[in-house]
């Protein structure tokens, strides 16, 4: 069957959406086999987004922690400040090839919304971004950035007024305007072919990391660490290393305030298999199969389901999944800022906090994916932690 | 034969068409839904669709979303809806179709669900976001328990997909009148006739049309080219308008009677 990762993935959508999914699948397949598409994407990666991003040895951090050598894959140095642009450039080129003029997207923290609005400005496409009212309130800066870039930000007032509800509303728009509109989904979620396509566009992270670590260290890393919301930055780092069995991989979910249902977004700790937003994966749900509210200090990790490829990597034991609490992430946010002069996104701070917990000798190599920069989170951190 | 199949067979013999109202189970309470089903049966409903409220109804427009929120607030969910079916069966033999998003069904366990649905008096099941490609196990279990499996066909479905959907459907086939979410419309899609003709080539099971059917003239128009008309949002809106009124059930039943008798012009008040 199409688009399955073990028993996970698939296409669980209202019938009306099967037509655009089939159309998208065919268009992506054609693009994937076209050298010109790859050349165009590579050009934008290099000259627009600033790739390859650095693989940086965090010397002071490593020394202070007294454990393994910590390298940071600097996705925060991308144009717009996060890995999200990798996927948006790929999908933007694809939408252009398909002749679509209108783009819709969902956003939580606003990073994917900003990346989408940026690419639409660059490619001359109309752009509507759905965003929960609660997130609009929390992420004022990104809302203004999207508007500056010429996008329309559509407030979503249903449900919990966050990312999950923004996806619901984007899907309702898509099912209505299916013949003219391209849905630029922001993570390795949703029905096939999105999880595969978004992974392919993000896998540049892992390919670069391999080349860079072989150049500097002459060998593969021992451990890869990345945060997992929907799971696109982590799968982007992991994908090229899956066959290298000696490389340990750790995906970090949001542990939130506690392990109580509703207090976190740790799908592998508290969820079970089910269907949300078109794909079969782990979901945080109650005994009636209703999706439950989640909590995380980081809006980008605050989502009740997870990409289906992660679900199968979890079940086969290839990737370990752990959870980091809000407070641990906030500590790591401060520590990386002070020790390396790098303010990480709160999402990425979860991965940094996990790396600190690794008790490994000093000759071991750990790569942490620094998926985004933390400017967007400064106000929230100030609110939570007070004046310095 | 299920009650759904018997009803369509009888209508066919009598040269009539089906009127199929939709209710979100538990909107505004499970007791009122029970009374509504019984009143709709008396008002001429041929099949009643009972929707299981779900936290993330991606295929529904604002009216049914609000109905869903009211039902969830009233504590409704799949287990309660099964109990509701059994309650209804004490007083009515109207054909009952369970409509749900897939997650609550999967979460309950498909094998157990098939058995419990049949025992609770349901005749068929429709999962809004379950495509035919993903439905083998589901259809085997539901049909094994004697239930009809109803699937959606859309105006965007390719001929190959129409064929697959027709093969997977029993009882009737649910034709979505237009692209988009559930909700009322002033006029039905002008391409509807072509779509229904294309669909008809692939199946001999009855075809019922839903999404946007919200006025007596829509019902009449649908009856000219299909076997049944499904009305959802218009009825849920009528419920919403009458919440808190002692005669809510009578008013909604009168509204359904008005919709289902398209040759009588005025709405009895």
Contact A288 B176 (CB under 8 A): no
Cβ-nearest to B157 among A10, A18, A168: A18
> A-chain residues within 8 Å CB-CB of B155?
16
- The arithmetic mean of pLDDT across residues B98-113, rounded, is 98
Contact B56 A168 (CB under 8 A): yes
Q: Does the structure show a pLDDT above 80 at A326?
A: yes
Of A106, A134, A335, A380, catalytic: A106
What confidence score (pLDDT) does residue A301 get?
Answer: 94
Burial of A124 (0-12, 13-18, 19+ CB in 10 A): exposed
Cβ-nearest to B156 among A16, A164, A289: A16
What confidence score (pLDDT) does residue A258 get?
Answer: 97
What confidence score (pLDDT) does residue A162 get?
Answer: 87
Q: Does the structure show a pLDDT above 60 at B91?
A: yes
Q: Count chain A–chain B contacts defined by CB atoms under 8 A.
A: 119
Give dist(CA B132, CA B165) in Å, integer. 6
Percentage of residues in chain A having pLDDT higher than 90: 94
Whether ipTM > 0.85 holds is: yes
Q: CA of B130: which chain A residue's CA is closest? A: A12
Is residue A319 within 8 A of residue A239, CB to CB? The reply is: no
Nearest chain A CA: its distance from B18 CA (Å): 23
Burial of B107 (0-12, 13-18, 19+ CB in 10 A): buried
Nearest chain B CA: its distance from A336 CA (Å): 38
> B-chain residues within 8 Å CB-CB of A292?
55
Q: Residues of B numbered 184-223 whose beta carbons fall under 8 angstroms of chain A's beta carbons: which are they? A: none
A84 is an active site residue: yes
Q: Does the structure show a pLDDT above 90 at A45?
A: yes
What confidence score (pLDDT) does residue B94 get?
Answer: 98
- The arithmetic mean of pLDDT across residues A315-342, rounded, is 98
Helix-helix angle A18-32:A194-202, to 10 degrees = 30
- The arithmetic mean of pLDDT across residues B9-21, rounded, is 97
Residue A334 CB neighbour total at 10 angstroms: 14
Q: Does the structure show a pLDDT above 80 at A1?
A: no
If one compares A160 and A27, the residue with the highest pLDDT of the two is A27
Q: Does the structure show a pLDDT above 70 at A38?
A: yes
Residues in chain A: 388
Nearest chain A CA: its distance from B222 CA (Å): 20
- The arithmetic mean of pLDDT across residues B244-256, rounded, is 97
B71 touches chain A (CB under 8 A): no
Q: Does the structure show a pLDDT above 90 at B183?
A: no
Contact B134 A1 (CB under 8 A): yes
Contact A274 B107 (CB under 8 A): yes
pLDDT-derived band of residue B191, with 50, 70 and 90 as boundaries?
confident
pLDDT digits (tens, 9 = 90+) for A89-120: 999 999 999 999 999 999 998 999 999 999 99
Contact A2 B133 (CB under 8 A): yes
Q: How far is CA B248 from CA A294, B11, B92, B116, in A?
A: 37, 29, 19, 30
Q: Dmax of chain A from CA atoms?
A: 57
Nearest CA-CA partner of B184 in B226, B153, B230: B230
- The arithmetic mean of pLDDT across residues A162-182, rounded, is 93
What confidence score (pLDDT) does residue A244 get?
Answer: 98
In chain A the first and final C-alpha atoms are separated, in Å, by: 55
Percentage of residues in chain A having pLDDT higher than 70: 100
- The arithmetic mean of pLDDT across residues A49-65, rounded, is 98
> B-chain residues within 8 Å CB-CB of A176?
179-181
What confidence score (pLDDT) does residue A137 get?
Answer: 85
Cβ-nearest to B152 among A2, A14, A288: A14
> B-chain residues within 8 Å CB-CB of A280?
134
Q: Does the structure show a pLDDT above 70 at B266?
A: no
> B-chain residues within 8 Å CB-CB of A160?
none
Dihedrals φ, ψ of A287, to 5°?
-70, -15
- The arithmetic mean of pLDDT across residues A346-375, rounded, is 97
Of the residues A161, A170, A288, A294, the best mutation for testing chain B's interface (the one with the most B CB atoms within 10 Å of its CB) is A288
What confidence score (pLDDT) does residue B187 get?
Answer: 80
Q: Does the structure show a pLDDT above 60 at B147?
A: yes
- Supply the pTM of this predicted model: 0.96
Q: Does the structure show a pLDDT above 90 at B263?
A: no
What confidence score (pLDDT) does residue B267 get?
Answer: 55
Nearest chain B CA: its distance from A290 CA (Å): 6
Of the residues B53, B180, B191, B212, the best mutation for testing chain A's interface (the one with the most A CB atoms within 10 Å of its CB) is B180
pLDDT-derived band of residue A388, with 50, 70 and 90 as boundaries?
confident
Catalogue all structural domains in chain B, each as residue range(s) with its CATH number.
3-8+17-260 (3.20.20.70)
Q: Residue B55 is encoded by which pair of tokens? A: 């936290």
What confidence score (pLDDT) does residue A19 get?
Answer: 93
A106 is an active site residue: yes
Three-state DSSP state, B97: strand
pLDDT-derived band of residue A287, with 50, 70 and 90 as boundaries?
very high
Of A84, A100, A164, A376, catalytic: A84
What confidence score (pLDDT) does residue A157 get?
Answer: 93
Of B5, B35, B49, B87, catalytic: B49
Q: Does the structure show a pLDDT above 70 at B242?
A: yes
- The arithmetic mean of pLDDT across residues A249-275, rounded, is 97
Cβ-nearest to A12 among B78, B131, B176: B131
pLDDT-derived band of residue B268, with 50, 70 and 90 as boundaries?
low
H-run or E-run covering A321: strand A319-325
> B-chain residues within 8 Å CB-CB of A283?
103
pLDDT digits (tens, 9 = 90+) for B27-80: 999 999 999 999 999 999 999 999 999 999 999 999 999 999 999 999 999 999
Q: Does the structure show a pLDDT above 80 at A265?
A: yes
pLDDT digits (tens, 9 = 90+) for A207-243: 999 999 999 999 999 999 999 999 999 999 999 999 9
């Amino acid at each position: 069957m199409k688009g399955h990762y073990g028993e996970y993935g698939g296409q669980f959508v209202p019938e009306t959406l099967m037509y655009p999914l089939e159309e998208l699948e065919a268009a992506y397949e054609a693009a994937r086999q076209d050298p010109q598409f790859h050349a165009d994407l590579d050009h934008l990666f290099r000259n627009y987004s600033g790739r390859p991003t650095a693989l940086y040895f965090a010397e002071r951090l490593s020394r202070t922690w007294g454990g393994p050598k910590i390298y940071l894959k600097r996705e925060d140095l991308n144009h717009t400040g996060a890995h999200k642009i990798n996927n948006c450039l790929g999908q933007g080129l694809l939408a252009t090839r398909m002749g679509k003029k209108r783009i819709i997207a969902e956003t939580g923290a606003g990073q994917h919304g900003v990346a989408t609005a940026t690419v639409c400005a660059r490619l001359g496409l109309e752009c509507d971004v759905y965003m929960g009212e609660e997130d609009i309130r929390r992420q004022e800066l990104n809302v203004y950035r999207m508007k500056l870039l010429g996008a329309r930000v559509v407030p979503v007032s249903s449900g919990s007024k966050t990312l999950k509800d923004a996806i619901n509303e984007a899907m309702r728009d898509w099912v209505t305007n299916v013949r003219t509109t391209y849905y630029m989904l922001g993570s390795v979620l949703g029905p096939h072919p999105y999880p595969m396509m978004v992974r392919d566009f993000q896998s540049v992270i892992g390919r670069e990391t391999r080349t860079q670590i072989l150049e500097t260290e002459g060998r593969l890393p021992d451990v890869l660490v990345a945060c997992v919301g929907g799971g696109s930055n982590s799968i982007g780092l992991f994908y090229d290393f899956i066959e290298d069995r000696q490389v340990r991989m750790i995906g970090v979910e949001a542990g939130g305030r506690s392990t109580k249902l509703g207090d976190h977004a740790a799908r592998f700790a508290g969820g079970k298999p089910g269907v949300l937003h078109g794909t079969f994966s782990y979901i945080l749900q109650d005994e009636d199969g209703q999706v439950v509210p989640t909590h995380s200090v980081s809006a980008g990790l605050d989502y009740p389901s997870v990409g289906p490829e992660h679900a199968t990597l979890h079940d086969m034991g290839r990737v370990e999944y752990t959870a980091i609490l809000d407070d641990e992430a906030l500590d790591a946010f401060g520590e990386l800022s002070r020790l390396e002069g790098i303010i990480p996104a709160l999402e990425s701070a979860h991965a940094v906090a996990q790396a600190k917990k690794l008790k490994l000798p000093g000759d071991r190599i750990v790569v942490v994916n620094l998926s985004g920069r933390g400017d967007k989170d400064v106000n929230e951190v100030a609110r939570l932690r007070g004046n310095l | 034969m299920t009650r759904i199949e018997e009803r369509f067979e009888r209508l066919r013999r009598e040269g009539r068409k089906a009127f199929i109202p939709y209710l979100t189970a538990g909107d505004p309470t499970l007791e009122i839904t029970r009374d509504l089903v019984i009143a709709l049966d008396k008002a001429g409903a041929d099949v009643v669709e009972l929707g299981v409220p779900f936290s993330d109804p991606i295929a529904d427009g604002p009216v049914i979303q609000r109905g869903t929120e009211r039902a969830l607030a009233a504590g409704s969910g799949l287990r309660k809806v099964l109990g509701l079916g059994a309650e209804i069966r004490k007083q009515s033999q109207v054909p009952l179709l369970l409509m749900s998003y897939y997650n609550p069904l999967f979460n309950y366990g498909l094998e157990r669900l098939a058995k419990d649905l049949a025992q609770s008096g349901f005749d068929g099941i429709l999962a809004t976001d379950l495509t035919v490609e993903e439905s083998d196990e589901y259809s085997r279990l539901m049909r094994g328990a004697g239930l009809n499996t109803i699937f959606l066909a859309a105006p965007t479905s390719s001929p190959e997909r129409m064929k697959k959907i027709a093969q997977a459907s029993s009882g009737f086939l649910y034709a979505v009148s237009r692209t988009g979410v559930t909700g009322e419309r002033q006029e039905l899609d002008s391409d509807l006739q072509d779509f229904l003709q294309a669909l008809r080539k692939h199946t001999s099971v009855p075809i019922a049309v839903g999404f946007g059917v919200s006025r007596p003239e829509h019902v009449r128009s649908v009856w000219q080219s299909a076997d049944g008309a499904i009305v959802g949002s218009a009825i849920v809106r009528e419920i919403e308008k009458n919440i808190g009124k002692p005669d809510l059930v009578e008013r909604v039943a009168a509204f359904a009677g008005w919709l289902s008798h398209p040759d009588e012009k005025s709405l009895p008040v």
